[in-house]
Structure 1
Amino acid sequence: MYNIILIFVCLLLGILLQKVKRLPANTYKRLNYIVIYFCLPSLALFYIPKIELDTKLLYPIAVTWISFTVSWLFFSLLGKKYGWSRKLTGCLIMTAGFSNTSFLGFPIIQALYGEEGLKMAILVDQPGTFVVLSTLGVFVATLYSKGSSNGVQIVKKIIFFPPFIAFLLACFMNLFHFDFHQYIQYGLQKIGSVMTPLAMLSVGLQLRFDRRSKHFKFLGLGLFYKLILTPAIIYLLYVVVLDQHSKMIQVSLMEAAMAPMISSSIIAASYGLKPRLCSMMIGFGIPLSFITLLFWYFAANSIL
């Protein structure tokens, strides 16, 4: 509950700070810089070395790989059909393709399914969401930020992207069963813990409630995919097609139904992929998700 309250407090504070004239106009960019270059790498170095993988856990791990891949196909096809700009297409792929599986997902899953459910939620988040964001997410953000793609430039941006470097280092640490000293781990955890408050401040600073905004129709489409289609795809694939019925599948479905991911929206905005729409996806998506989550919770309970 504390995490959820903190999200709304920081979002509201960011909106209120828009009225402070002395505040630099690029404050949100500075906050984004801290989130991307310090918080995300710290989280990777803290969590990934501790993950124990098993083939039985592929269902929760695959949730984000599936949802992001389908998001890429879905919005790229719509973009070509309706002549959208590359930045608009990339924005929708990035913001609708990732769920907020940790900061929103963890407390909600823990409240609904206990410690056992939380362990499964971590699998959705770390080897799932975080890995996809550090690899395919960075690739898509780079690809769609340019009018024409240059393979060498895209590879360079991915390789030298701080969260990706941290991800690779963390994977090697996991492979060789190495972890940092507890004092370093404590520091990494503390740095990573400020990610969501800073990110929500950034979102609040950019959020505008303009009824005439041209982004509203794309906002509706993006949130429809994220909050309705994504969990529907996971339900159909896991429950109907693969005939899986367990608490692990329940947790996987609920994580798929979470609001848009804050980190992916921050990265998309930092690459110039319609920053205003990125903020709207978060600002409107989080409160709306509490309504849609009720439906998916009942759907998840019907699995067993």
Structure 2
Amino acid sequence: MSNLILIFIFLFLGIILQQVKGFPLSIYKVLNKIVIYICLPALALYYIPKIEWNNKLLFPIAVTWIGFVVSYLFFNFIGNRFGWSKKLKGCLIITAGLGNTSFLGFPIIQSLYGQEGLKTAILVDQPGTFVVLSTLGILVATIYSTGSPSGLDIAKKIFFFPPFITFMLACIMNVFNLDFHKYIQLAFQKVGLAMTPLAMLSVGLQLRFDRKSQHWKFLGLGLLYKLILTPALIYLLYVVVLNQNSKTIQIAILEAAMAPMITASILASSHGLKPRLSSMMIGFGIPISFISLLFWYYVVQFI
């Protein structure tokens, strides 16, 4: 619950600081770099070595991969049909395709399903959302922001992306059943905890409530996909098609229904993919998601 309170405190703090005369609003760029290059790697090195693998874990892990791939197909189809710019398509693919499966997902799932539920939520987030962000997310951000980069440029962007490097290191440690000294683990955990306030402060500094904004209809479409269509797709695939009915499946559906990912918004913004719309997806998506999550929690009780 404390994470949820932090989200709103620092979001509103960022909005308030916009009104302070002389405050350097461009500081959000520095905050973005801290989140991406320091906080995310720390989280990977803390959580991933502790994951215990088995085949049933593929269901929660696949949630974000499915959501992101369909997001790519969905927004490319609509964008091409209506002549959207590449930056607009890229923004919606990333922000609607990646959910806030950790800093919203973890406290919500833990409060509903306890510590066992949290273990499933970590699987959705780390080998799921985290890896998609570090690979497909970087791929889309690079292609849709710079035109037609070479394969070598894209490979460099991914393989030298600090969160991806640390993810690979953490996976190797997991395979060999290794972990850091407890004091180092504690340091990683503390650094990772800074991600929520810093990321939401960055979003708040960029968020604008402009009634005449041209982004409202795109915001609505992006949130429709993220909060309604994505969990509906996972429900249809897992429950109706594959006939799965466990607590793990319930948690997977709820994680699919989480608001857009804060770091995804930062990734899109840092690549120039409609920064204003990226911030709106977070600023409006988070409070609206609490309403849609109530609906999906009611739905999964019948699984």
TM-score (norm 2): 0.98
CA distance in 2, matches of 1:189, 1:114: 20
Aligned-pair Cα RMSD in Å: 1.0
Residue aligning to 1:53 = 53
Measure the CA separation in 2 of the matches of 1:117 and 1:202.
30
1:19-75 alpha-carbon deviations (Å, 9 max, x no partner) = 112211311101101101110111111111111111011111111111111111111
**CA distance in structure 1 between the aligned counterparts of 2:114 and 2:169, rounded to whole angstroms:** 31
Q: Deviations over 1:261-295 (max 9, x none)?
A: 11111111111111111100000000000111111
Q: Which residue is equivalent to 2:278?
A: 278
Distance 2:148 2:61 in 1: 32
**Matching residue of 2:228:** 228
Q: 1:1-304 counterparts in 2 under 5 A?
A: 1-303=1-303
CA distance in 1, matches of 2:141, 2:52: 29
**What secondary structure sits across from 1:273 in the alignment?**
coil
Q: Structure 1, unaligned stretches of length 5 or more?
A: none
CA drift at 1:78: 1.4
Aligned partners of 1:53, 1:139: CA distance in 2, in Å?
A: 27
Worse overlay, 55-64 or 10-19: 55-64
The gaps in structure 2 that reach 5 residues or longer are: none
Deviations 1:69-114 (A, max 9, x none): 1111111111211111111111001100011111111111111112
The answer to whether the Cα contact below 8 Å between 2:25 and 2:205 also exists between their aligned partners in 1 is no
1-side partners of 2:252 and 2:280: how far apart? 25
Q: State the 1:148 CA deviation.
A: 2.3
Q: Distance in 2 between matches of 1:56 and 1:164?
A: 24
**Distance in 2 (alpha carbons) for counterparts of 1:184 and 1:138:** 28
Equivalents in 2 of 1:299, 1:189: separation in Å?
34
Q: Secondary structure at the match of 2:146?
A: coil
Cα distance, 1:248 vs structure 2? 0.9
Contact preservation (8 Å) 1:86, 1:146: no
Q: How far, CA to CA, are the matches of 1:73 and 1:12 in structure 2?
A: 34
Q: How far, CA to CA, are the matches of 2:104 and 2:50 in structure 1?
A: 21
TM-score, normalised by the number of residues in structure 1: 0.97
Distance of 1:267 and 1:168 partners within structure 2: 20
More moved, 285-294 vs 169-178: 169-178
Number of residue pairs aligned between Structure 1 and Structure 2: 303
Counterparts of 1:173 and 1:117, CA distance in 2: 24
- Asked if the contact 2:230/2:257 (under 8 Å) is kept, the reply is yes
Deviations 1:228-265 (A, max 9, x none): 00000001001111111111111111111111111111
Mapped to 2, the partners of 1:274 and 1:290 lie a distance apart of: 25
Q: CA shift at 1:192, angstroms? A: 0.8
Deviation at 1:150, TM superposition (A): 2.0
Residues of 2 paired with 1:91 and 1:159: CA distance? 22
